[in-house]
Chains A and B, each alone.
Chain A
Amino acid sequence: MRVRLIRAAVLAACVVATTVRADEVAVRATVEPSTVEVGGQAVLTVVVEGKFRRGGSPELPPLPDFDVFESGTSQNFSFVNGQTQSSLTFHYVLSPRKEGAFRIEPIRYAVGDKVYTANAVTLDVVAGGAGIAPGPGPGAQDPGQKGSTPSSDESIFVAASVDRDTVFVNQQVTWSLGYYTDGRVELLRSPNYSPPEAEGFWVEDLPPQSKYYRTLHGRQYLVSEIKRGYFPTAPGTYRIGEARVDIVIDNINRRGVFDDFFSRRGGGFGEPRTLRTDPLEVVVLPLPSSGKPTGFNGAVASDLVVSTVADKQVVQVGEPINVSVEISGVGNMRTIAPPKLADLPQFKTYESGSSNDSFKKDYVVSGRRKFDFVVVPQVEGSFKIPAVRVPYFDPDLKLYQVAQSAEIPVEVKPGTPEDGRKVIYAGGGDDFEVINRDIRFIHAVPASLPIASRPFYTSPLFIALQALPMLLLGASAVVERRRRRLRSDVGFARASRARREAERKLSEAEHAFRDGNASEGFGRVHAAVFGYFADKMNAPVAGLTTDALEAYLRETHASDEVATSLKSVIDACDAARYAAGAASADNGRETAARARDALIALERGAR
């Protein structure tokens, strides 16, 4: 967090609220009160709302006529359907240095690469006595202040102090810078303040700037004082460095009047000077090791209070209950860890949002953190939402303490079966929303994790197999067509079986020749040949003549060799049948073989 201290005069304020919506983030700026006197204080509030997770601080426009202090932030997050709804509120104290009507240019806020802006706001500042309190008296010092006691007799000087130089880890150290001027020095420009370096601390600005008169060494000084809160993050000895205030003194025209801190303007060249404070050391003690309560999580605070609130205590099974846990106290409450609801086996529990508010009353940092939960009862009965317990260390008492909320009784009545299965995904706080659908849960790791490969339907085998059914269908059609023709066409049927019948008769002839019955064999050969041609010509065997056979051979363009061979077979058969002694078994086998060869050649030629 960073303070911007900008030189300026003081004026009043007005309330102007503007909103600029761009996409899903809206930035709103307001100023209260609407009118403020010079030296008074107005609060500039910047609210950023929308669906975003991370964002920084708003970028304020240059405000040269105001002293500007950050005075706290407030955060609110809710989670709906996997998206974060955020609401951030930033408070700034504006202390005008002069009267007039002022326009604060649009405040910018960056979310990721996008910048969202609010419209400009205007302020009216009127003249008035900036009530300056009387000082603590000559040479007096605030009780408990450690540091450089103002001992200078200069007309203008700065001094720093801390309220305590020994603290526990995460206990507040209030650092103060006093700017003293006796009015005899005229400044040509507003003083330029540089805060001290301080490693090992969490820093909070503590507005507002205060002014009072104080008498030192017989002189009356106007003291302008600003404060910062330092929270050490670890034990050890730490140093809050020197703060610097750069001024330019008008060493010619000394007007000699008391004036406001950082408010003078002038011309000319003047004499530049740098005022420095002394660095301060702070001893940070570790938290006591003994007496730590169980569950202690490093919380350091005073007057810690924990409260738990449920929006309803009588519900049905499956009906959600909003439970808010609020932790408030004095100290750096940002370091308070989110509490956990104790295990509730009969309930489903969801975190639904959180908010964070910080306060700086009387220069003491305090805060309030709120954590929202949704609990959904799964079974009927009487239950208690257990107390939330927050152990912490109280640096004032130097003791560990435990803040605890009260238990909340809950009566769960029977619900419909569907109630128990409702999927609840919650928004936060008043924006709580029951949505009946959340994404379904992840799947378990499958038994096998296949590596990417070519799909089966691109493999050549699969593509080739696709031809098989069509081939079968085609073959079936051919077979059936032939079968039908065989049934309906006697000539086709006889011609189709002619070769087979001839072969059968030739085989019988060979059997006869083997049995020594040559005459019978030659008869079979003759029957085979003439039967073949009778079948081919679809004519009766009895009427088939040699001339008709020769005519058939000519029609079928049988070769001369085949025709001659067949003629010799027929002649041999006729000779054996009609010339006694011409038939011999050897001659018959040779004749049968010749007849077979001739018929085979004839069949081949016919194709």
Chain B
Amino acid sequence: MVVLAVALSAARAGAQIDADSPAARFERANAAYEAGDYAAAIDDYTRVVEAGVVTPELYYNLGNAYFKDGGLGRAVLWYERARRLSPRDPDVRDNLDLTRSLLRDKQLVATEPRWRRALFAWHRDTTAGESVAAASALYVVLCLLGILFVFRESDAISRLYARLSILSPGRLLGLDKAQDLGLAMGLVLLVCGAFATSAVSKIRAEQARSQGVVVAEEVSVFSGPSRDASVQFKVHEGTLVSVRDARPGWVRVDLPGDLSGWVDETTLDRI
């Protein structure tokens, strides 16, 4: 009987643990969202985040819940966080675009020309980890091409090159083996450098948390880190800012259009 009681107690404890597990809370939050209880959904999603779970699905759903609850600032915040983890997710991108279209400070949303967006899609649509992996893989390829270049006169490498270089642009351009390999190495080096630069910029941004989103309804931007300083302009919830400097209780933010100033640090959340 004692053994049975202990077993039942353990089972109940296990059930309790399961009910409080991040997965169970995630499920409850989704159910609350579907029932239209967005406040409860926000509460449960937030608890899952506090448990240390890092997934784009969680951040995206939390952004949705804030959107439905009318909190556009925090919706932008969590969509941006989801985008960092899953930059190619069309749902995240679409909801972020829609939310931004509803913001009051639409003119402060940084816009890029279409050509530039297309040209730098590889940078925007990759995570820091993916950029590091791409740069690392290209670096390995670069070294292998270097080895091929070194042994280009050997019979084995010559045979290998003859097989691999059928579609080589250098060969089509009439370049010899050394020039062709040199051209390939140059191109790989260029792309590798680009991904490495992309990776470094993302890692720095993530470590410094240099981007933030205004979460207060309206925020006065002062000329200095003091309420006695003059108010230069006001920004509203959901506006994306770059954080450049910090003092106790204050952060300096930059905005598109060479706008800059100091805001109360509690009025924005870092991405």
Which residue numbers of A lie inside 8 Å of B, CB to CB? Answer: 23, 53, 81-84, 437-446, 449-452, 455-457, 462, 466, 469-470, 472-473, 476-477, 480
Across the interface, name the chain A residue whose C-beta is closest to B48: A449
Across the interface, name the chain B residue whose C-beta is closest to A439: B95
A473 and B143 contacting across the interface, CB-CB below 8 Å: yes
Q: Which of the residues B30, B65, B140 comes within 8 Å of A444, measured between beta carbons?
A: B30
Report the separation of the CA atoms of residues A283 and B55 in the bound assembly, to the nearest whole angstrom.
61
B103 to chain A, nearest CB (A): 11
Report the separation of the CA atoms of residues A455 and B218 in the bound assembly, to the nearest whole angstrom.
36
Across the A-B interface, give the 7 residue pairs with the lowest CB-CB distance, nearest first: A469-B143, A443-B57, A457-B132, A440-B91, A442-B61, A439-B95, A445-B26
B102 to chain A, nearest CB (A): 6
Instruction: Tell me whether B150 is interfacial, beta carbon within 8 Å.
Output: yes
Residues of B within 8 A of A83 (CB): 70, 102
Residues of A within 8 A of B199 (CB): 457
A373 to chain B, nearest CB (A): 15
A371 to chain B, nearest CB (A): 16
A601 to chain B, nearest CB (A): 35
Among B98-138, those with CB < 8 Å from A are: 98-99, 102, 128-129, 132-133, 136
A263 to chain B, nearest CB (A): 46
Residues of A within 8 A of B17 (CB): none
Given contacts A442-B30, A476-B151, contact A466 B54 (CB under 8 A): no
Across the interface, name the chain B residue whose C-beta is closest to A456: B129
Report the separation of the CA atoms of residues A575 and B144 in the bound assembly, to the nearest whole angstrom.
58
Instruction: Tell me whether B195 is interfacial, beta carbon within 8 Å.
Output: no
B67 and A439 contacting across the interface, CB-CB below 8 Å: yes
Interface centre among A445, A452, A455, A470 (most CB of B within 10 A): A445
Residues of B within 8 A of A472 (CB): 143, 147
Among B40-63, those with CB < 8 Å from A are: 48, 51-55, 57-58, 60-61
Residues of A within 8 A of B58 (CB): 449
Which residue numbers of B lie inside 8 Å of A, CB to CB? Answer: 22-23, 26-27, 30, 33-34, 48, 51-55, 57-58, 60-61, 64-65, 67-70, 72, 91, 94-95, 98-99, 102, 128-129, 132-133, 136, 139-140, 142-144, 146-147, 150-151, 199, 203, 218
Residues of B within 8 A of A445 (CB): 23, 26-27, 30, 57
A477 and B150 contacting across the interface, CB-CB below 8 Å: yes
Given contacts A82-B68, A442-B64, contact A473 B147 (CB under 8 A): yes
Given contacts A53-B70, A437-B94, contact A449 B53 (CB under 8 A): yes
Q: Which of the residues B22, B33, B142, B144 comes within 8 Å of A442, measured between beta carbons?
A: B33
Residues of B within 8 A of A443 (CB): 57, 60-61, 91
Across the interface, name the chain B residue whose C-beta is closest to A480: B150
B57 and A444 contacting across the interface, CB-CB below 8 Å: yes
B143 and A470 contacting across the interface, CB-CB below 8 Å: yes
Residues of A within 8 A of B144 (CB): 469
Report the separation of the CA atoms of residues A480 and B151 in the bound assembly, to the nearest whole angstrom.
7
Across the interface, name the chain A residue whose C-beta is closest to B97: A437
Report the separation of the CA atoms of residues A465 and B231 in the bound assembly, to the nearest whole angstrom.
53
A440 and B147 contacting across the interface, CB-CB below 8 Å: no
Report the separation of the CA atoms of residues A457 and B147 in the bound assembly, to the nearest whole angstrom.
25
A451 and B143 contacting across the interface, CB-CB below 8 Å: no
B45 to chain A, nearest CB (A): 9
Residues of B within 8 A of A452 (CB): 52-54
B150 and A473 contacting across the interface, CB-CB below 8 Å: yes
